Amino acid sequence: MLDQLHQFLLVEGVGQPTNRVLVAVSGGSDSLALLHMLSILRATGGPIPIVAHLDHGLRGAESAADAAFVASIAAAWGIRAVIDNARLPPGTTPAEARIARYTFLATTALAEQVDAVLVAHQADDQAETVLMHLLRGAGPAGLRGMRTRVEWSEWAAPLIGVGRVPSHGPPLLRPLLTISRSALAAYCATHHLTPRDDPTNRNLHYVRARVRHHLLPQLAAENPQIVAALNRTARICAEDYDFIQQALAAQWPMLIVEQQSDLIIFDRAALRSLHPALRRYALRRAIAELRAEEPSLAQMDTAIHLINARAGRQMQLTAQVWLVCDQRTVTLQHAGAVYQHVPQLEAPVTLPECGVVMLANGWQCIVQPDPPPQPDRWWLGFIARPSGPLRLRTRRPGDRMRPSGAPGRRRLQDLFVDLRVPRSLRDRWPLLVDAHDQILWVTGLRVAADIASSDPNQATMWIGIVHPIEATQE
């Protein structure tokens, strides 16, 4: 086991005496065995271990005793220890406790300038994780379980997103992931180590405890090697997932039209040409690069349906991300940035039969007979040219319209609410109206029924709300 650990550290590039590794030590048998092995390796030319322990403060005197135990062990073995207390409130969930723990590990890793962070997850933990993901429903990304190496950009992503840590830092390593819980317990017994016991691990209120103490033993009655089988599943799914990611990486440059910190624009035709599995992973990658929460399968299915449907539609994909499907592009954008650069109207404008009208902030309204080079949601092609002059105006009390694809008339206010248009933008949002003051188009958002041409080449007139930069590009 010691040789296996040493070889793992060498392969990961942190096995030399000049390397520093932060070790998460709870005081249980797994982390205590890991720390003991690292202390032996250090004496024979291994890396410098530094202990990290966070007392969540959820078990009162018991957890305080755990922290004191870890501190005393580290002192006895001549290892530097960083001990902290989170003082989390009663009722804190395991997920919230985990965030606090990893926040502590990330900030400590940076402060100690370590080359890697080591955690003591082992093979039984892996089996439990795979089974929990399977119960919730998962594909290769979930069924691969925990990985032996996770880069900083991924394991510290929630902290990077809120600016609490820098974008670069040490990886998270799991050197014991192929070793069983019983083997580590036996190691502790052989070396006369007395690990601490956390009763939370037996609390059947938590899913992991029920999986560990009820479900896995039942499955072991059918397959005594269930832990090994679930670990093989994780390894196979990890390899399949890596293959999918490599295939996606090869396609990614052809898919992307533009990529910024808060916006990713796909070529719609290229995205639709992908195999459904790659298309789904492309969207997941984009959402991950926008540092937003992972969407559910239902949200992904809705997004795929929208991409395959008629252009000019949009949806809030997750709490943080909007998806907009135009004629040639698919845009994923942070919700706070969706309306960052939009047209606003200072005063009513009567449109010419053909030509350009300047709006506020340099925006333009263009009326022309031919389709633009790249129609998107800011362009409207008419089935038939409306009679009488068209105008742009802002909203009025009681405004209603009959949106395309929806039954009956709807209040404009309700449309703004449904589309989550910020209140600050609603009063000056340009509305295209006809000679009878009927709303034909809530520009960029919704078009009235029986107005737009389904075939761009059959439209008799085009109206676009265009930013000058876009106009120059065209």
pLDDT given at position 251: 96
Same domain, 433 and 310: no
Question: CATH number of the domain that 322 lies in?
Answer: 3.30.465
Same domain, 7 and 145: yes
The sign of the dihedral angle between the CA atoms of 277, 333, 259, 326 is positive
Same domain, 272 and 415: no
Same domain, 300 and 355: no
Number of alpha carbons in the 13 Å side-chain half-sphere of residue 330: 26
| 3-state DSSP assignment of residue 456 | helix
- Block residue for tokens 């005793």: 65
The residue from 314, 337, 360 where one domain ends is 337
Question: What domain range includes position 267?
Answer: 261-337
Q: Has residue 27 been placed in a domain?
A: yes
Same domain, 332 and 360: no
Domain total of the chain: 3
DSSP class of 403 = B
Same domain, 219 and 132: yes
Q: Has residue 441 been placed in a domain?
A: yes
The whole model's pTM is what? 0.72
Return all residues near 204 (Cβ < 8 A) that are at least 6 apart.
210, 213, 214
**What's the token pair of residue 419?**
């589309």
pLDDT given at position 50: 98
Q: Has residue 343 been placed in a domain?
A: no
pLDDT given at position 225: 96
**Model pLDDT for residues 294-331, shown as the tens digit of each residue:** 888 889 999 999 898 877 677 888 888 888 887 788 98
Question: CATH number of the domain that 109 lies in?
Answer: 3.40.50.620
DSSP class of 12 = T
Same domain, 105 and 228: yes
Q: Has residue 50 been placed in a domain?
A: yes
Q: Has residue 243 been placed in a domain?
A: no
Q: Has residue 82 been placed in a domain?
A: yes
Strand extents, DSSP E, 177-295 = 256-260, 263-267
Same domain, 314 and 458: no
Distance CA 285, CA 294 (A): 9
**Model pLDDT for residues 425-446, shown as the tens digit of each residue:** 889 899 999 999 999 999 988 9
Same domain, 95 and 196: yes
- pLDDT band for position 470 (50/70/90)? very low
**Model pLDDT for residues 52-98, shown as the tens digit of each residue:** 999 988 888 998 999 999 999 999 999 999 999 988 888 888 888 88
Same domain, 176 and 135: yes
